[in-house]
């Protein structure tokens, strides 16, 4: 093929699969109608250059011979963010921060820049805003150190030159969809551009030891190549969740080569920026109604952190032949399963009832430990009997109606006691592992009938 000849290829916007022709379904991720046409420049293949200099023999290294230089993690100034990152920023890592437009990604990273700039040089590169716009946003957040430098640029080659010349310890790229390389003929934001620019940023991070944060946008329509294409290239993937019209934000790690992926960080959007929510359980339980049926507090583990949330249920007779079932914040299929268990094992006639289940506070919970909370809320609403507001429950429910053990029962009970709960209903088999149960009554149950009997 002639050098510099342009050809047309098709890329999947979801996973980056490349094809010479358009296909309705992607063979890689099985998504439909995700292929887009792009013109790329095919270059003639040349000789592979040696990685090492001179005539040194290329050979692998023994793991015992590798010198481990301990690098301390850098603290971001946000305890919640450090928790999700696994204890802080690892030097030389490439971190992707994704989320819907307007969720607060740029605000969070600008606040991180403010904290880090007190002790090191930070470079904030924006392809979406001008210097004046960034300063207007910064003035709302607070005072900044002169060690924070701003640079507005979208060309990848010029960005590499500035990073090499300034040698900052931390670089923010906002956003990767606006950055383009002259070596790729497609438009900025396309799959090939995003993949090329991220690959070059990865080389910069690993070669210089600079920590790079990348902002990636996700759109519902899938027009722009989202960060799903980048997840296999970066070290850490963080996602901002939550309704941008609400005040809360949940930062969740979905990939982390240096720590756990089960941790979450909770933030509250305020006028001066994002503020940490140090006690998410107390935040989620604000406004809980008193004396209302169908309201039960349950406990779910997010990594090593117990989260207490209110589970609300509303059960009423259906006016139609087919009852309506709705779930917000949890899996609808799991709710339908638990309602079938209630009808078969507890004798509650729910087949002709509409049922609505909601996790208050907007957080999403899928851990099986909230099964008992959903069952108790449904039974409370069906019989219109309120559950004591100082009672908390957790446990997995099986198809036979048994309440099965869950992990980290001690941490859940301790969190409930700190927030003032007086009674804890939990699986009977989990009681043996509990210690220091002062100021809280422990009730062990083996079946859902025993659990319902505690509140009815």
Summarize pLDDT for 106-156 with one digit per residue, the tens.
999 999 999 999 999 999 999 989 999 999 989 989 889 889 999 999 999
Helices within 239-315 (DSSP H only): 280-284
Sign, Cα dihedral of 289, 291, 295, 298: positive
Least confident stretch, 3-12, 82-91, 96-105: 3-12
Number of other residues whose CB lies within 10 A of the CB of residue 339: 24
Decide if pLDDT at 47 tops 60. Answer: no
Mean pLDDT (whole number) for 372-397: 95
In angstroms, the CA 413 to CA 422 distance is 10
* Tokens 């990848």 -> residue: 156
**Of 315, 350, 331, 338, residue with least CA distance to 403:** 338
Sign of the CA dihedral running 177, 178, 180, 184: positive
Confidence of residue 19 (pLDDT cuts 50, 70, 90): confident
* Percent of the chain whose pLDDT exceeds 70: 91
Give tens-digit pLDDT for 48-90: 444 444 444 568 888 888 776 656 889 999 999 999 999 999 9
Under a CB-based contact definition with an 8 Å cutoff, are residues 189 and 174 in contact? no
Region 29-50 average pLDDT: 67
Q: How is 99-138 classified by DSSP, letter by letter?
A: E-TTSSHHHHHHHHHHHHTTTS-EEEEESSS-HHHHHHHH
- For residue 190, the model assigns a pLDDT of 78
The pLDDT score that the predictor gives to residue 211 is: 95
What local confidence, expressed as pLDDT, does residue 44 receive?
Answer: 52
Cβ-based neighbour number of residue 424 at 10 Å: 25
Statement: residue 10 has pLDDT above 80: yes
The pLDDT tens digits of the residues spanning 318-340 come to 988 889 999 999 999 999 999 99
Q: Is the dihedral of CA 383, 386, 388, 390 positive or negative?
A: positive
Q: Which of 7-16, 245-254, 411-420 is modeled with the greatest confidence?
A: 411-420
Average pLDDT on 378-393 reads 95
Q: Among the listed ranges 235-249, 395-409, 413-427, which one has the minimum average pLDDT value?
A: 235-249
pLDDT at 453 over 60: yes
Q: Is the pLDDT of residue 249 over 60?
A: yes
Q: What percent of the chain has pLDDT over 90?
A: 53
Cβ atoms of 342 and 348 within 8 Å: the answer is: yes
Task: Assess whether pLDDT exceeds 90 at residue 441.
Answer: yes
Residue 303, pLDDT > 60, answer yes
User: Per-residue pLDDT tens for 305-319?
Assistant: 899 999 999 999 998
Q: Which helix (H) or strand (E) holds 36?
A: strand 35-42
pLDDT for the residue 50: 41
356-375 tens-digit pLDDT? 999 987 788 889 999 999 99
Query: Which one has a higher pLDDT value, 191 or 332?
Result: 332
> How high is the pLDDT of residue 101?
80
DSSP characters over 422-437: -EEEEEGGGGGG----
User: What is the rounded average pLDDT of the residues 18-29?
Assistant: 88
435 or 159, higher pLDDT: 159
Instruction: Give the integer Cα–Cα distance in Å for 282 and 263.
Output: 18
């Amino acid at each position: 093929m002639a050098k510099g000849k342009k050809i047309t290829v098709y890329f999947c916007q979801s996973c980056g699969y490349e094809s010479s022709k358009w296909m309705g379904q992607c063979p890689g991720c099985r998504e439909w109608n995700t292929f887009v046409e792009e013109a790329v420049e095919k270059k003639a293949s040349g000789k592979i250059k040696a990685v090492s200099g001179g005539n040194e023999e290329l050979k692998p290294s023994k793991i015992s011979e590798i010198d481990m230089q301990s690098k301390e993690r850098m603290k971001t100034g946000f305890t919640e963010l450090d928790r999700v990152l696994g204890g802080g920023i690892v030097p030389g890592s490439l971190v992707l921060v994704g989320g819907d437009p307007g969720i607060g990604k740029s605000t969070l990273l600008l606040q991180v820049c403010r904290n880090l700039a007190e002790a090191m040089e930070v470079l904030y590169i924006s392809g979406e805003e001008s210097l004046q716009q960034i300063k207007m946003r910064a003035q709302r957040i607070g005072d900044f150190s002169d060690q924070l430098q701003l640079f507005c640029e979208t060309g990848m080659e010029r960005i590499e030159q500035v990073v090499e010349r300034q040698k900052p310890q931390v670089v923010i790229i906002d956003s990767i969809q606006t950055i383009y390389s002259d070596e790729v003929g497609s438009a900025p934001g396309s799959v090939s551009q995003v993949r090329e620019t991220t690959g070059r940023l990865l080389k910069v991070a690993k070669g210089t030891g600079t920590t790079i944060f990348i902002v990636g946008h996700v759109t519902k329509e899938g027009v722009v190549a989202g960060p799903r294409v980048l997840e296999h290239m970066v070290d850490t993937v963080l996602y901002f969740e939550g309704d941008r019209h609400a005040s809360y934000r949940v930062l969740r790690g979905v990939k982390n080569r240096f720590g756990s992926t089960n941790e979450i960080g909770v933030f509250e959007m305020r006028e001066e920026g994002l503020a940490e929510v140090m006690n998410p359980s107390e935040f989620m339980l604000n406004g809980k109604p008193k004396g209302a049926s169908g309201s039960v507090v349950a406990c779910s583990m997010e990594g090593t952190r117990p989260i207490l949330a209110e589970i609300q249920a509303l059960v009423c007779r259906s006016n139609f032949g087919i009852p309506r079932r709705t779930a917000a914040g949890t899996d609808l299929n799991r709710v339908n399963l638990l309602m079938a268990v209630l009808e078969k094992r507890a004798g509650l006639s729910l087949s002709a009832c509409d049922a609505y289940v909601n996790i208050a506070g907007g957080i999403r919970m899928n851990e099986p430990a909230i099964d008992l909370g959903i069952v108790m809320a449904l039974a409370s609403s069906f019989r219109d009997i309120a559950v004591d507001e100082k009672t908390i429950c957790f446990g997995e429910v099986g198809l036979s109606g048994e309440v099965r053990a869950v992990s980290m029962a001690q941490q859940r009970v301790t969190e409930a006691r700190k927030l003032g709960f007086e009674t804890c209903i939990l699986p009977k088999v989990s009681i043996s592992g509990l210690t220091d149960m002062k100021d809280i009554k422990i009730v062990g149950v083996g079946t859902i009938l025993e659990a319902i009997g505690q509140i009815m």
